[in-house]
Amino acid sequence: MNTTFLAHLQSELDGLKSAGLFKSERVITTPQGATVRTADGREVINLCANNYLGLSSHPKVIEAAHEALRTHGYGMSSVRFICGTQDLHKTLEHRIARFVGCEDAILYAAAFDANGGLFEPLLGEQDAIVSDELNHASIIDGIRLSKASRWRYKHNDMADLERCLKEAREKGARFVMVFSDGVFSMDGTIAQLDTMRALCDRHDALLAIDECHASGFMGRTGRGTHEHRGVFGKIDVITGTFGKALGGASGGFTAARREVVELLRQRSRPYLFSNTLMPAIAGASIAVLDLLEGSTALRDKLADNTAYFRRAIVEAGFEVKPGEHPIVPIMVYDAVKAQQLAARLLELGVYVVGFFFPVVPKGQARIRVQMSAVHDRHHLEAAVKAFAQAGKELGLVK
């Protein structure tokens, strides 16, 4: 291979390392759970998976995956419109649409693809997209692929959102779509969907949300941020993932009115030109929805764990971003300290990750802890104890 090119790549990598921005991956050797084993054989409490409901290794989910593997095979070997649609895929589309309160839904290999393939088919150059500045990377990429004009409002700032809506209308946009994460992953901010719905109605805009950190557990019956905010059934387009609370394997979806979904099936490029979910994931995802529609026990336990941990970690002297989401950002501010805290916690048997610039703003480094329904009280007590000890050692708490 061209040696100048390789040398160039190596210098890019070295640059990332010297800037402290290089990401390394920790190897674990067990399924996701309240604890995981790391490659050096230690068992540690896991506080950094998106396994909100503990379904990644739930026996019923694993059994349903085995069953679908047995009855429907391993792979599709085709995109949907050639010969890649099984009854399981159609059933899952109906079930997820019903679960999130929409008429129909379309599956994608990932939520990244659902967002990447959403805007370009639906909106053209006469249209406008209004987007929260902290929206997920996949939304930003999806918007870039469309020809619509763009407005960006300050994170979660409703006055600034209204400014954008007015400007887009004054410029004569044909259709306006507001897009926001339902829950923002670095802060656990819950979008003000009730206010947003009212603003969108006032300015005749569509409201679309990404529910990756919400589907399955936000709201009284776990339907999502719209249920939590009292606007269930009133969101125009919902994208989401099966790779977090809803089983944790992979796969994404877009749910909306039938016309939206049908046009996406015709024109959405990640759908047209890429295989869909393996049958085992489709079958297991249906079992996940059976579980969640039958009982709110898991989301209730998650809510209990979240309330307990948020209270206990504050009592231990840490500052957290206030809120009620199972994402609990523990503020350290200093990037080096955040990394030291994460490293010490791992020694003490607690697996967490420090986040710092550019993932969060400069001077806003934090440990992002995520609660799960698989955690029992003793896991959380042990974690808080370890936080208190490491925090004292590093001079972060008294």
Site size toward ligand PLP, by CB under 6 A: 15
Which one of 56, 146, 185, 268 is the catalytic residue? 185
Are 386 and 345 in contact, with CB atoms under 8 Å apart? yes
The yes or no reply on residue 185 touching ligand PLP (CB under 6 A) is yes
The yes or no reply on residue 276 touching ligand PLP (CB under 6 A) is no
- Concerning whether 325 is annotated as a catalytic residue, the answer is no
Q: Which is nearer to ligand PLP, 111 or 292 (CB)?
A: 111
Are 183 and 327 in contact, with CB atoms under 8 Å apart? yes
136, 310, 321, 368: which one contacts ligand PLP (CB under 6 A)?
136
CB of 18 to ligand PLP, least distance (A): 29
262 vs 121: CA distance, rounded Å: 11
- Concerning whether 244 is annotated as a catalytic residue, the answer is yes
Are 286 and 65 in contact, with CB atoms under 8 Å apart? no
Q: Which is nearer to ligand PLP, 242 or 318 (CB)?
A: 242
b/e map of 54-77 (b: 16 or more CB within 10 Å)?
A: bbbebeebbebbeebbeebeeebe
Region of 2-10, 208-216, 341-349, 362-370 interacting with ligand PLP (CB under 6 A): 208-216
Asked whether the bond before 358 is cis by omega within 30 degrees of 0, the reply is yes
Are 178 and 206 in contact, with CB atoms under 8 Å apart? yes
Biggest CA-to-CA distance, the chain = 63
Region of 18-26, 108-116, 162-170, 380-388 interacting with ligand PLP (CB under 6 A): 108-116
The yes or no reply on residue 104 touching ligand PLP (CB under 6 A) is no
Question: What phi, psi does 75 have (nearest 5°)?
Answer: -140, 170
The yes or no reply on residue 210 touching ligand PLP (CB under 6 A) is yes
45, 64, 96, 111: which one contacts ligand PLP (CB under 6 A)?
111
Q: Which is nearer to ligand PLP, 136 or 379 (CB)?
A: 136
101 vs 166: CA distance, rounded Å: 29
- Which helix (H) or strand (E) covers residue 239, if one does? strand 237-241
93, 181, 187, 227: which one contacts ligand PLP (CB under 6 A)?
181
Region class of 331: left (phi > 0), else alpha (psi between -120 and 50), else beta = beta
The yes or no reply on residue 127 touching ligand PLP (CB under 6 A) is no
Q: How far is C-alpha 60 from the chain's CA centre?
A: 23
CB of 114 to ligand PLP, least distance (A): 8
The yes or no reply on residue 110 touching ligand PLP (CB under 6 A) is yes
User: Smallest Cα–Cα separation from 153: which of 141, 166, 162?
Assistant: 162
CB of 240 to ligand PLP, least distance (A): 8
Region of 56-64, 89-97, 105-113, 324-332 interacting with ligand PLP (CB under 6 A): 105-113
- Concerning whether 136 is annotated as a catalytic residue, the answer is no
The yes or no reply on residue 116 touching ligand PLP (CB under 6 A) is no
Specify which residues 150 forms β-bridges with: 129
Tokens of 302: 């998650």
46, 241, 268, 339: which one contacts ligand PLP (CB under 6 A)?
241
Region of 28-36, 41-49, 109-117, 164-172 interacting with ligand PLP (CB under 6 A): 109-117
Q: Which is nearer to ligand PLP, 238 or 374 (CB)?
A: 238
Residue 202, SS3 per DSSP: helix
In this structure, the dihedral spanned by the alpha carbons of residues 53, 58, 60 and 64, taken in order and rounded to 10 degrees, is 100
Region of 96-104, 210-218, 271-279, 378-386 interacting with ligand PLP (CB under 6 A): 210-218
User: Smallest Cα–Cα separation from 371: which of 317, 318, 328, 329?
Assistant: 328
Which one of 72, 136, 213, 379 is the catalytic residue? 213
Q: Given the structure tokens 């990244």, which residue do they identify?
A: 112
Residues marked as catalytic: 185, 213, 244
Contacts with ligand PLP, residue ranges (CB under 6 A): 110-112, 115, 136, 138, 181, 185, 210, 212-213, 241, 243, 250, 252
